[in-house]
Structure 1
Amino acid sequence: MALSVRARLIYYAKLSKPRIIWLLDLAALSGAFLSGKLMPLNILAVLVGGTLASAGSMIVNEGIEIDRDKVMRRTSKRPTVMGYVSKKEAIYVGIALLVMGTLVGLLDNLLTSFFIFLGGAVYILIYTVWLKPRSPWNIVIGGLAGSAAAWAGFASTTSSFTISSLLLGLLIFMWTPGHFWALAMRFKEDYSKAGIPMLPVIMPENFSAKMIAISNALMIPFALALSLYTGIVYAVVASILSALQMYFSVRLIRNPTGEEAWRSFKFSSPYLAILLILVMISAFVR
């Protein structure tokens, strides 16, 4: 039975992973604000272009991963798995959205467009196609997709790439492994069934917990280094939040279970979101 346009749009919206897109858009906004140049039309262009490209990349990802998603309880109800959107259709539509987003980025400048495309290319080719089914380094290298969102935002108002934007991107890059390894530890059985070699799948729980803690510890210097460009309020809040993040990491080491990993995972999302918002507020106040 043919789907209505409304139903099809709803399915594609679900496939686009809006909970991830809003964080990527927040990264782009924080990059744009970090520059200190508030240019509404430029920011609008990078948000629209970035959202289209991110949505397209997610949709391609779920088109490619239908067979893996079928065996994972967490992903078994996705529209691609249920047959509402075919693999070929998801890939074609996703690529079209990625191209559209890249072209919208050109309304800002070539560098913005490049970073928008880079984020999608890393997520689809390096993360989804190459590393995810083969290597526990998948989510480590895949973190560059999030970094590219921040770099696109900064480039949208400056047409440049500087140390401050590099640090913002590296914060996101370093945040990614600990966040998603905690998720994989919580859903270890799912990832194991799908044959995805996430670190917690191929290594013991106590080792995975230590690696999550090390990853989070390595992230903190980048979070604090941004205070050179954002001021004392950001530095104080970032220090407090980072201490809390390490508190959850230590708890996980002491009790390396899926439930404790889930607590770490649930804290890490607002941790990054609050820091990105603080970057925006600090830049606006300046």
Structure 2
Amino acid sequence: MTKEIEISYNENGTIDNEKTGTLIADLKSLFKAPVLIANALPVFVGFWLALHFTGGSLLASSKLFWLTIIGSTVLMGGALVLNNWYDVDIDTVMKRTQKRPTVTGNMSLKTVLGIGISMSAIGMVMLMFTTMEAAIYAFVGWFTYVIMYTMWTKRKYTLNTVIGSVSGAVTPMIGWAAIAPSYHLVPIMLFIILFIWQMPHTFAIAMRKYNEYKAANVAMLPVVRGFKMTKRQMFVYIACLLPLPFYLGSLGMVFIVLATLLNIGFLAMSIQGFFTKDDDKWAFAMFLYSVNYIAILFMLMIAVTLPIFQ
């Protein structure tokens, strides 16, 4: 039996901090806070780089900036909530998701569905006040994640990772398109980098949570094809990242050198996987590297385009 969310009060009329803390934890879990933040960064980078290459100013574009960032974050939050709503049966089986409010019953599925739909609609409307191109990219990301990935491929096909990667890869396109048309080489390369990076990143997670995905009957590559095939694919995808910094020469030599070093380190770690005797430990190291890799890479794009370096 599920129950609706509420703020609880003690007998003296003060807020019950324990229950309120539980509510906050539930909301963080429902919105997948780390994932939401990680997806907001590429939107900002896309917006920032579009301003840089068009000679725009963040201060002069502040209204458009907030519409883009808030609108895309709300829309992505709605998509993540809908994912929680639809995947409640899987989340009940998997240990890492058993504390989600959809599983514990702290939020009713009806409430979660309402939140997901409302946030998706609000975010979409906000983005339509930026540019139609940005709104289209945002819808593509939402549709790919909610419909194509969550409701169709996740449980049936190992290609679910490829489909899911599209939704994350369009995020910098949203930010860029809010400022200028996205047929520029830079946003296209950002899309490609994010798309390719998500593959080894997701495979590392799937390897670590192999038993959980298997129990939940989710068609992740390690479950269906095994670890050896997964490691080979991780190596191939990471190798595909190697030439990409050279297409971003407009960001300067410092960026090219540092991004290439990050790629070499990533590739070296993937090669290590062919010789490791502890797959779980290696997969965790790959996960940590992948998270730091993408954060450093995108923050580096901001750093090298700051006025003090121009």
Tell me if both proteins adopt one fold, taking TM over 0.5 as the criterion.
yes
- After TM superposition, the score normalised by the length of structure 2 is 0.87
Do structure 1's residue 100 and structure 2's residue 100 form an aligned pair? no
Question: Where has structure 1 moved over 6 Å in runs of 4 or more?
Answer: none
CA distance in 2, matches of 1:159, 1:99: 24
Do structure 1's residue 211 and structure 2's residue 233 form an aligned pair? yes
Report Cα offsets for 1:56-105 as digits up to 9, x if no partner.
Answer: 11110011000001111111111111011222322221121011111111
Q: 1:92 to 1:221 in 2, by over 3 A?
A: farther
Cα shift at 1:219: 2.6
1:57 maps to a residue whose letter is: A
CA distance in 2, matches of 1:164, 1:209: 29
Q: 1:141 to 1:3 in 2, by over 3 A?
A: closer
Match among 96, 107, 117 for residue 85 of structure 1: 107
Output aligned runs, 1:265-284, within 5 Å: 265-284=287-306
Match among 14, 31, 38 for residue 16 of structure 1: 31
1:4 maps to a residue whose letter is: E
CA distance in 1, matches of 2:6, 2:289: 39
3-state SS of the aligned residue for 1:253? coil
Do structure 1's residue 42 and structure 2's residue 64 form an aligned pair? yes
CA distance in 1, matches of 2:32, 2:63: 25
**Which of 1 and 2 has higher RCO (CA within 8 Å, sep 6+)?**
1
Task: Provide the residue aligned with 2:264 in structure 1.
Answer: 243
Match among 41, 44, 58 for residue 29 of structure 1: 44
Equivalent pair of 1:49/1:116 in contact (CA under 8 Å): no
Task: Provide the residue aligned with 1:133 in structure 2.
Answer: 155
CA distance in 2, matches of 1:211, 1:105: 36
Task: Provide the residue aligned with 2:175 in structure 1.
Answer: 153
Equivalent pair of 2:242/2:264 in contact (CA under 8 Å): no
Report Cα offsets for 1:24-54 as digits up to 9, x if no partner.
Answer: 1110111112211333322221110111011
CA distance in 2, matches of 1:252, 1:41: 47
Task: Provide the residue aligned with 2:6 in structure 1.
Answer: 4
Do structure 1's residue 53 and structure 2's residue 106 form an aligned pair? no
Equivalent pair of 2:5/2:107 in contact (CA under 8 Å): no
2:5 maps to a residue whose letter is: L
Equivalent pair of 1:122/1:144 in contact (CA under 8 Å): yes
Report Cα offsets for 1:101-140 as digits up to 9, x if no partner.
Answer: 1111122111112222221111100110111011001011
How many residues in Structure 1 have an aligned counterpart in Structure 2? 285
2:94 maps to a residue whose letter is: M
Report Cα offsets for 1:158-205 as digits up to 9, x if no partner.
Answer: 144422211111110111111000110011000000000100111222
Cα shift at 1:253: 1.8
Greater per-residue helix proportion: 1
| Alignment root-mean-square deviation, CA | 1.7
Q: Which runs of 5+ in 1 are unaligned?
A: none
Cα shift at 1:252: 1.2
Cα shift at 1:229: 2.4
Q: 1:227 to 1:164 in 2, by over 3 A?
A: closer
Cα shift at 1:225: 3.5
Task: Provide the residue aligned with 2:206 in structure 1.
Answer: 184
Cα shift at 1:2: 4.8
Task: Provide the residue aligned with 1:63 in structure 2.
Answer: 85
Equivalent pair of 1:12/1:59 in contact (CA under 8 Å): no
CA distance in 2, matches of 1:138, 1:128: 8
Q: Which runs of 5+ in 2 are unaligned?
A: 8-19
Equivalent pair of 2:182/2:188 in contact (CA under 8 Å): no
- After TM superposition, the score normalised by the length of structure 1 is 0.94
Equivalent pair of 2:189/2:248 in contact (CA under 8 Å): no
Q: Percent identity?
A: 25
CA distance in 1, matches of 2:86, 2:105: 13
Do structure 1's residue 232 and structure 2's residue 250 form an aligned pair? no
CA distance in 2, matches of 1:227, 1:55: 30
3-state SS of the aligned residue for 1:254? coil
Equivalent pair of 1:151/1:161 in contact (CA under 8 Å): no
Cα shift at 1:247: 1.5
CA distance in 1, matches of 2:157, 2:141: 20
